[in-house]
Amino acid sequence: MPTILFAAPALWSEYRDPLPAALAEAGLSDARLVTEADPAEVDYIIYAPASPLQDFTPYSRAKAVLNLWAGVERIVGNPTLTQPLCRMVDPGLTEGMVEWVVGHTLRHHLGMDRHIVNPGHVWDPTCPPLARERPVTILGMGALGSACAAALRALNFPVTGWSRTAKPGSLHGEDGLRQALSRAAILVTLLPKTPETENLLNADRLALLPRGAVILNPGRGALIDDEALLAALESGQVGQATLDVFRVEPLPPDHPYWSHPKVTVTPHIAADTRAVTAARVIAENIRRGEAGEPFLHLVDRGRGY
Ligand code: NAP
């Protein structure tokens, strides 16, 4: 009978029903799910970035720390964490991200703003091009990037993907990045925050985009050099940006992004972990741990994601 510590108190009300149900579905109805425990008795820790638990040293018996978030940058460098760390790959979260990316891509592709805000009642019959004529590049072809690519391709957008390692049908490496940026009418960033990806979109790389390209960033704020983006928006090199994530969240009230006419701010809502589906992922990983099977979605500490 494993003891499972739910160490994300702010989320307990969301998970208190779905988790026992998912554990029972996974054949673990005898598991002890608690919000407080003697560290020496804990077998699994369910964690979220704002968790008060920051010192993992006393949890010497824990077989894994199971993160409720897809991004792990706020835990992966914790020096007290020696237990295996699993991140969240939640079908509900992926669906949400696909909807956000497709929705904002279509907004920019169809030029919807012109018609939604049209105080002068201008009759402009300019028809947008077809999706097949609007190349989209996705930086980061992992769980989320590849799902967004599939959805956009289904709408006929020509999608170029770029990631760290070689994958069929997607680019990698510095040359690959140059190619991927140079063809991006719309650029979507779905990379994790790591030392390698921080400020990936700097002035030099923004200059590689076709003039007037649109940027959608639902990945992490630190992927973009904010000063460089503001300058590129000013010069017209970048046409518009829709940003969901920021270096400081909530975005400070005086941040230039709030009032910039070419920037849309969404408050880190592109994709949330959904308790019912996420609880099944957690339960499956605990089942695996108990059966001695490899964990799903194990984080590689060396890579940082
Ligand atoms: P994932 O499955 O781990 O995929 C990450 C992708 O990024 C992989 O394709 C990886 O390449 C690539 N990558 C990592 N480091 C790279 C580098 N240095 N150069 C080039 N490519 C690199 O992650 P995911 O589940 O798709 O999530 C991606 C990110 O989305 C998360 O880390 C998080 O920051 C963000 N996110 C945001 C929200 C939101 O609400 N806004 C919600 C969830 C997640 P390889 O495949 O070659 O390893």
> What does the pLDDT look like over 144-188, one tens digit per residue?
999 999 999 999 999 999 999 999 989 999 999 999 999 999 999
DSSP state of 129: P
* Rounded average pLDDT over 75-102: 97
* Residue at 302 is within a domain: no
- Name the token pair of 280: 């099944």
* Residue at 243 is within a domain: yes
Alpha carbons 269 and 14: distance in angstroms, whole number: 17
**Which pLDDT tens digit goes with each residue over 247-256?**
999 999 999 9
Same domain for 243 and 147: yes
User: Would you say the CB of residue 268 lies under 6 angstroms from ligand 1?
Assistant: yes
**Which pLDDT tens digit goes with each residue over 179-235?**
999 999 999 999 999 999 999 999 999 999 999 999 999 999 999 999 999 999 999
* Residue at 153 is within a domain: yes
Mutation pick for ligand 1 pocket among 190, 197, 242, 247 (CB with most ligand atoms within 8 Å): 190
Same domain for 246 and 144: yes
User: Would you say the CB of residue 249 lies under 6 angstroms from ligand 1?
Assistant: no
pLDDT score at 186: 99
User: Would you say the CB of residue 143 lies under 6 angstroms from ligand 1?
Assistant: yes
pLDDT score at 52: 95
Please list the alpha-helical segments (H only) found in the chain.
12-15, 18-25, 91-110, 112-116, 143-154, 173-182, 203-206, 226-235, 256-259, 275-291
Residues in the chain: 305
H-helix or E-strand spanning residue 241: strand 238-243
220 is annotated as an active-site residue: yes
Alpha carbons 11 and 275: distance in angstroms, whole number: 9
Same domain for 114 and 173: yes
* Residue at 72 is within a domain: yes
**Which pLDDT tens digit goes with each residue over 30-57?**
999 999 999 999 999 999 998 999 999 9
Same domain for 124 and 68: no
Strand partners, 217: 243
Burial class (CB in 10 A: 0-12, 13-18, 19+), 168: exposed
User: Would you say the CB of residue 246 lies under 6 angstroms from ligand 1?
Assistant: no
List the catalytic residue out of 74, 107, 164, 268.
268
Helices 91-110, 275-291: inter-axial angle, 10-degree rounding: 140
The CATH number of the domain where 15 resides is what? 3.40.50.720
Number of domains in the chain: 2
Report yes or no: 44 and 5 within 8 Å, Cβ to Cβ.
yes
Closest-CA residue, ligand 1 atom 23, reads 142
- Could you tell me the residue range of the domain that residue 206 belongs to? 92-265
When the pLDDT of each residue in the chain is averaged and rounded to a whole number, the result is 97
Same domain for 248 and 160: yes
* Rounded average pLDDT over 61-82: 97
Q: Distance, CA 216 to ligand 1 centroid (Å)?
A: 14
